[in-house]
């Protein structure tokens, strides 16, 4: 792939698995920076947004088709890695379960955005609308809006405003570009229009690897490091919400030096 390359977004396009496999098979890994530009503010579920989790989601959805939507959202899918590898191989380098992809770095014209320092709480309201309530399959004469699936609520979620985000990744760039065509939004509450992606570019690398100038770009298990000064018990791989994936890691922004076989 000639870089830089603008990705033509087409979220409703059908994923061409045959074409993807042909390209993925012949492509080699290289370092690139992916830049995502935004049209709306981003709602955060945690202090980091993991790019490799987004790509894994797209790979699994492409591999399973409509069966993807019958999966539980609360229990890790045991065979996900094997299904992805056999049907839609992951384009990002994987070493001992660690994807060579940084967390998203958000920027405005004023510089780097710190999600912890610069986020602001916004309130999301959900109110029950009685219009067409006769279609709700219930035998009750009254509908509770204080509890249950139809409850009304107000939820406060941290939000950031960013012009774009950079992700530094070691991957097969053309294969990655085919997956990125299907990206619509980043972060939480995307159905309400938050985190809308305006454009995506694949650029020549601004930073290489998962450690740059001695700073970790993603969670890195301490056994991969020769030296480190920062450590937290945090998830290190997909799915990041699973407690089973918690390890002693150097967190993003922590100081460390990788062992030579992981550079």
Q: Report pLDDT digits (tens) over 175-226.
A: 999 999 999 999 999 888 999 999 999 999 999 999 999 999 999 999 999 9
> With contact defined as beta carbons under 8 Å apart, do 104 and 186 qualify?
yes
In CATH, the architecture of 5-108+161-208 is 2-Layer Sandwich (3.30)
**What tokens does 237 get?**
């791989």
The reported pTM is: 0.88
> Looking at residue 242, what is its pLDDT?
87
Q: Where are the beta strands (DSSP E) in 21-119?
A: 30-38, 42-43, 94-95, 98-99, 105-108, 111-113
What is the 8-class DSSP label of residue 251? Answer: P
Domain residue spans in the chain? 5-108+161-208, 120-156
Between CA 156 and CA 137 the distance in angstroms is 30
| Confidence at residue 139, expressed as pLDDT on a 0 to 100 scale | 75
Distance CA 118, CA 60 (A): 33
> Residue 76: which pLDDT band, with cuts at 50, 70 and 90?
confident
Mean pLDDT, residues 237-260:
93
pLDDT at 130: 72
Average pLDDT, integer, range 62-75: 81
pLDDT digits (tens, 9 = 90+) for 137-177: 777 777 777 777 778 888 899 999 999 999 999 999 999 99
Closest C-alpha to 58, from 28, 27, 20: 20
Identify the pLDDT of residue 14: 84
How many Cβ atoms from other residues are within 10 Å of residue 46's Cβ? Answer: 14
Average the pLDDT over 59-79 and give the result: 81
Rounded to 5°, angle at Cα 229 from 225 and 230: 90
């Amino acid at each position: 792939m000639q870089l830089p390359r603008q990705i033509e977004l087409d979220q409703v396009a059908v994923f061409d698995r045959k074409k993807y496999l042909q390209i993925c098979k012949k492509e080699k890994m290289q370092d690139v920076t992916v830049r995502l530009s935004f049209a709306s503010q981003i709602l955060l579920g945690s202090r980091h947004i993991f790019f490799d989790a987004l790509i894994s989601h797209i790979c699994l959805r492409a591999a399973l088709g409509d069966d993807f939507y019958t999966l539980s959202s609360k229990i890790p899918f045991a065979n996900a890695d094997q299904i992805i590898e056999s049907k839609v191989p992951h384009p990002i380098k994987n070493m001992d379960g660690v994807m060579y992809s940084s967390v998203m770095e958000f920027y405005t014209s004023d510089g780097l955005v710190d999600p912890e320092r610069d986020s602001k709480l916004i309130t999301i309201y959900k109110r029950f609308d009685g219009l067409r309530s006769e279609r709700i399959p219930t035998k009750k004469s009254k509908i509770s809006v204080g509890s249950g699936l139809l409850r009304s609520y107000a939820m406060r979620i941290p939000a950031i405003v960013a012009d774009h985000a950079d992700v530094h990744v070691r991957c097969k760039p053309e294969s990655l570009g085919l997956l990125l065509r299907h990206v619509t939004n980043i972060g939480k509450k995307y159905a309400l229009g938050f985190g809308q992606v305006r454009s995506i570019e694949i650029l020549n690398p601004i930073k290489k690897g998962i450690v740059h100038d001695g700073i970790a770009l993603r969670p890195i298990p301490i056994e991969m490091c020769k030296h480190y000064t920062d450590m937290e018990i945090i998830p290190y791989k997909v799915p990041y919400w699973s407690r089973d994936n918690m390890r002693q890691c150097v967190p993003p922004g922590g100081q460390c030096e990788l062992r030579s076989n992981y550079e």
